[in-house]
Amino acid sequence: MTTTGSAASSSDRRPQPTAPARTRRRSRLLGGTAVLAAAIAGWTWAGPRPAPVEHKVDVTARSFAFEPAVLRVNAGDRVTLRLRSADVVHGFHLEGYDLDATVYPLRREFEVRRNGGREQVEAVTFTAERAGKYRYRCSVTCGAMHPFMSGELIVEPNRTWRAAVAAAVAVTLVAAVLVRNGQHGA
């Protein structure tokens, strides 16, 4: 921090801007920040409004993969899965959702275990509440590559999350400009 002193003394020798120039620069900075904040607010609120959607997806288990391997939804969406097996008995365990199923070949019904119970169903529905990535993997030993039989549910963040990020960025920008101005004004 010894360089701070020399930097300060060298800047002292620089011609100081006149008071009106400082004021102009300050108002330009504040104006720029306001425009940026408005743009961020616009991006937050004018973006496409993702109303909750119902997804009906046929998931086929086949040694040793799931089709589709990636499910992409928005937070708040309802997801209905119809699980099928194209060859042998497979499992379907969705991490973070207390959902586990056993899928039998050539059968429309599969067994779902959740909330401590088990039932035979043709479809299972849940709400993708939290944004994040949730792995689904086979939970029935089905062969050599069983440990690698998995897919991924990607839950995109909703607008609330977007607004929080935008607000944090805007506050940081304004704070940075105020600190800068404080240093220049001193």
Exactly one of 138, 153, 155, 170 binds ligand CUA (CB under 6 A); that residue is: 138
Q: Looking only at residues 52 through 81 of this chain, which bind ligand CUA when binding is defined by CB under 6 A?
A: 61, 64
Residue placing its CB nearer to ligand CUA in the complex, 40 or 89? 89
Phi-psi region of 21 (alpha: psi -120 to 50; beta: other; left: phi over 0): alpha
Smallest distance from ligand CUA to CB 106, Å:
15
Taking residue 2's Cβ as centre, other Cβ atoms within 10 Å add up to 6
Diameter over CA atoms, the chain:
85
The number of C-alpha atoms within 13 Å of 68 and in the hemisphere containing its C-beta is 10
Phi, psi of 139 (to 5 degrees): -120, 15
Q: Quick check: 103 binds ligand CUA (CB under 6 A)?
A: no
Q: Quick check: 84 binds ligand CUA (CB under 6 A)?
A: no
Smallest distance from ligand CUA to CB 137, Å:
8
Residue ranges binding ligand CUA (CB under 6 A) = 61, 64, 90-91, 138, 140-142, 146, 149
